[in-house]
Amino acid sequence: MKGLLECDGGKGVIYAVNPSLKVIIAFAAGMSAFAVKSISGALFIALFTIAAAYFSGLGKKAVSTALLIAKISILFFVIQLLCVRRGNPILNLGFFSITDAGLYYAVMMALKLIAASLPLVLVLSATKRSDLANSLVYNLHIPFKYAFALTTTLNFIPGLASEMAQVMEAQKARGVDFEIKNPIKKAALIVPLCLPLMLSCVRRTENSAIAAQLRGFELRGRGSAYKKYPLGMKDAIAVLACAVVLSAAFIL
Amino acid sequence: MIKIENLSFIYDGGRKKALDDVSLHVPKGAFYGVAGASCSGKSTLLRAVAGIVPHFMRGRFFGTVTVAGVDTLSAEPQQLARTAGFVGEDIESQLICETVEEEIYFGLENFALPHDEIEVRAAAAMEMLSIASLRGRRISSLSGGQKQKTALAAMIALSPQILILDNPSAELDPAATENLYSALAELNAGGMTIITAEQKAGVLCRFATHMTILKEGRALASAPVQQVMDDTELLRDAGIMLPRRAELSSRLKAEGLYSGGTPLDIQQAAGMVKGIMQ
Ligand SMILES: Nc1ncnc2c1ncn2[C@@H]1O[C@H](COP(=O)(O)OP(=O)(O)OP(=O)(O)O)[C@@H](O)[C@H]1O
Ligand SMILES: [Mg+2]
C-alpha cells in the first residue's frame, strides 16, 4: 500500500502531459474499458496503459498495481464464474456448474476492472497533488477551494495507510499477531483500530483546514500559482493517441 | 499592537474556563513570552489573538481582543492573517502541502505576491531557518524538528507584522532551539512583534522582552521579563520549571549571599558568581 498514490517526481510521457488533461484522459480510458464489448478491447487498453507506464519509468508499479486489482477482482471472478448459467457446461460442481460463457464473462470482468482502474491509479502516481490542484484551477477554472479539497482527499488515503501501518507496528510490539491467515479473525483485529484512526485523521484535517485558511487559501485566484500550466503540443499528441487507442479498443 | 481586555473563554463542551479574566498589552516591537504549565491556557490565549478562538474553535467568549486596531470578534481570521501569522502546536496539521518548497510557496501564492518576490522571500525564509537543503523533500520524510522549521519558514516568508508561535521549540533539540530563537530575535530586531508560548521559561527569559505567566487560565503576571523572572515564588507556583541559573540565584538570595536580579543568561550568571566571590 505504501506510496500507492504518491508522486515522487520523474520523467516520461505520463509526467509530461498537463495534469488536468491526463486525469481526463485516464477517466476516458477507464470508462472505455468498462464500455468495450470484447476481452481483446479491455486487454488492449490495459496493455497500452502498462506500456505508457513503462515509458514513464512506472512499469513495475503498473504491474504490481494490476496484480493488486487482480487479487481484488478474484471475488467477482468467482461469483461470475458460478452464477452464469448460459453456454455449454465445462465442469460440474454439484449445484453449480461452470460454463464456457461463464468463464468468458468472468475473465472479461476481471480484465475490465484492471483496465478501468489502472490508468487513473498510474496518472495519480505520476502527478503531484499541487500540480493537479493548480492545473484544475488554471486550465478548468475550478475554484481553488474545490480543487484543493479534492487533492487533499487524495492525500488522505496514503496518509491513512501510513498511519495504519504505524498503529499496527505499535500493536505488534505489544504482542498482537497480525500475520494470521483467517481473514475474518484478521478483520476483527484491524477494524477496531480503524475508528480511532479515522477520528484522529478527521481532527487533524480540521486543524489543517484552519491552518490553510490562516494562510489565505480562500483568497487564491486563477493567476496566483507560481507555476503555469499551459497546454501544448505534447498535450495535443496525448489526446490524439488516446483517441486512436480507445477507438481501436472499441473496434477490437 | 495587541490589546486583550478581561478575556475569558470556555470551549464548547468544556466545563472549566480555559482563560479566566486575562488582560494583556503587547506593545509594538515586543518579543512576548507566554509561559505556563500544561493546560494553563497558553494555546487558547494565542488562538484568541489569531482569531481562531472563537471563530474556528467555538465557545463562550467574554472580553475583547484587539489586534493592530482590529477587534477580532468583528474581523474574520483570514483578514487578520496578513497582519498576524499563527503557527499552531500540532505541527503535523500545520503542514498542508507535499513538499517543503510547495509548503513555503503556499501562502505566498495565496496572497498573490508577484512571482519574482515569491522566490526571493521563500529562499530568504529557508535560509533564515537553515532548511534550504530540504527544499525538494517530501514533508512526510522530515523529522519533527525539520517539520517545525518548515512550518515556521512558511509563516516567516509571509512577513506578518505579528508572529504568533505556539510551542515552537517542542520538537527541537537544544541547539536548534537556540538557532530558532536567534532567528526570531533577528526578526524582532527588524520590527516584527513576536509572541511565543513555551512550557519552560529558560529560553524565553533570554530572548523575550516581556513575559506573561499563566496558571489555570489566569494571568499571574504580565511584565518586562526581568521583573517576572525575579519573582521565583510566583514561577514555582505556576508550575514552571526554573532555569538552573534562576534556581541558583534564588538559593543564594535565600542564603543572603546575593541581592541582585535573576540572571537571564549565562553571562549574567557568571557575573553574579564573580560578584559573590570577590
Ligand atoms: N479544542 C478544545 N476543546 C475543548 N477544550 C479544550 C480545547 N483545547 C483546550 N481545551 C481546554 O482548555 C484548557 C487550556 O488548554 P490549552 O490548550 O490552552 O493549554 P496549554 O497551556 O496550551 O497546554 P499545553 O502546554 O499542554 O499545550 C485545558 O483545560 C484544555 O482541556
Ligand atoms: Mg498548548
CA B199 to ligand 2 center in whole angstroms: 9
Q: What residues of chain A lie within 8 A of the CB of B109, using their CB?
A: 220, 224-226
Q: What residues of chain B lie within 8 A of the CB of A216, using their CB?
A: 78, 81-82, 107, 110-111
Q: What residues of chain B lie within 8 A of the CB of A212, using their CB?
A: 96, 106
A114 and A198 share one domain: no
B63 and B170 share one domain: yes
Question: A155-159, B173-177, B188-192, B234-238: which range is least confident on average?
Answer: A155-159
Q: What is the pLDDT of residues A204-250, one digit of tens each?
A: 788 888 899 899 888 888 878 888 888 988 899 999 999 998 888 88
Q: Which residues between 13 and 72 in chain A have a beta carbon less than 8 angstroms from any beta carbon of chain B? A: none
Q: What confidence score (pLDDT) does residue A2 get?
A: 47
B40 and B101 share one domain: no
Does the CB of A166 have a partner CB in chain B at under 8 Å? no
Who contacts B85 (Cβ-Cβ below 8 Å, separation ≥6)?
A: A214, B155, B156, B158, B160, B162, B163, B164
Does the CB of B79 have a partner CB in chain A at under 8 Å? no
A59 and A183 share one domain: no
ipTM, two decimals:
0.84
Domain boundaries, position A31: 1-128+228-252
Render the burial of A58-73: b for 16+ CB within 10 Å, e for the rest.
beebbeebbeebeeeb
Ligand 1 atom nearest residue B46's Cα: 18
Q: Which residues surround ligand 2, an ion (CB under 5 A)?
A: B 43, 89
Query: Which among B263, B214, B206, B210 has a CA at the least distance from the CA of B234?
Result: B214
d(CA A101, CA B263): 89
Q: What residues of chain A lie within 8 A of the CB of B93, using their CB?
A: 204-205, 207-208, 211
A136, part of any domain: no
Does the CB of A208 have a partner CB in chain B at under 8 Å? yes
> For ligand 1, is residue B244 a contact (CB within 6 Å)?
no
Q: What residues of chain B lie within 8 A of the CB of A128, using their CB?
A: 98-99, 102
- Mean pLDDT computed over every residue of chain B: 93
Q: What confidence score (pLDDT) does residue A1 get?
A: 43
pLDDT band at B142 (very low <50, low <70, confident <90, very high): very high
> For ligand 1, is residue B124 a contact (CB within 6 Å)?
no
Q: What CATH number does the domain containing B207 carry? A: 3.40.50.300
Coil, helix or strand at residue B270: helix
A1 and A122 share one domain: yes
CA B131 to ligand 2 center in whole angstroms: 25
Beta-carbon count within 10 A of B60 CB: 12
Q: What is the pLDDT of residues B232-246, one digit of tens each?
A: 999 999 999 889 999
Q: Give me the number of domains chain A comprises.
A: 2
A19 and A119 share one domain: yes
Query: Is A158 a residue whose pLDDT tops 80?
Result: no
A84 and A181 share one domain: no
Q: What is the pLDDT of residues A76-93, one digit of tens each?
A: 788 877 777 777 777 777
B277 and B141 share one domain: no
A51, part of any domain: yes
Determine the residue of B12, B34, B44 to mutate for testing ligand 1's pocket, defined as the one with the most ligand atoms within 8 A of the Cβ atom.
Answer: B44
A74 and A164 share one domain: no
Ligand 1: residue whose CA is nearest its atom 12: B18
Domain boundaries, position B278: 243-278
Nearest to B81 among A152, A215, A221 (CB): A215
Let me know: does B259 contact B271? Beta carbons within 8 Å: no
B38 and B20 share one domain: yes
A162, part of any domain: yes
A14, part of any domain: yes
A109 and A12 share one domain: yes
User: Which one of the ligands is nearest to B40 CA?
Assistant: 1
Q: What is the pLDDT of residues A50-78, one digit of tens each?
A: 999 898 888 888 898 889 888 888 887 88
> For ligand 1, is residue B43 a contact (CB within 6 Å)?
yes
pTM, entire model:
0.83
A133, part of any domain: no
For residue A148, how many C-alpha atoms fall within 13 Å in the half-sphere facing its CB?
20
Distance set, CA A60 to CA A50, A112, A167 (Å) = 9, 20, 28
Does the CB of A95 have a partner CB in chain B at under 8 Å? no
pLDDT band at B44 (very low <50, low <70, confident <90, very high): very high
pLDDT band at A129 (very low <50, low <70, confident <90, very high): confident
B146 and B113 share one domain: yes
A210 and A88 share one domain: no
User: Which one of the ligands is nearest to B42 CA?
Assistant: 1
Q: Which residues pair with B211 in a beta bridge?
A: B33, B223
A195, part of any domain: yes
Q: Give me the number of domains chain B comprises.
A: 3
Query: Is A5 a residue whose pLDDT tops 80?
Result: no
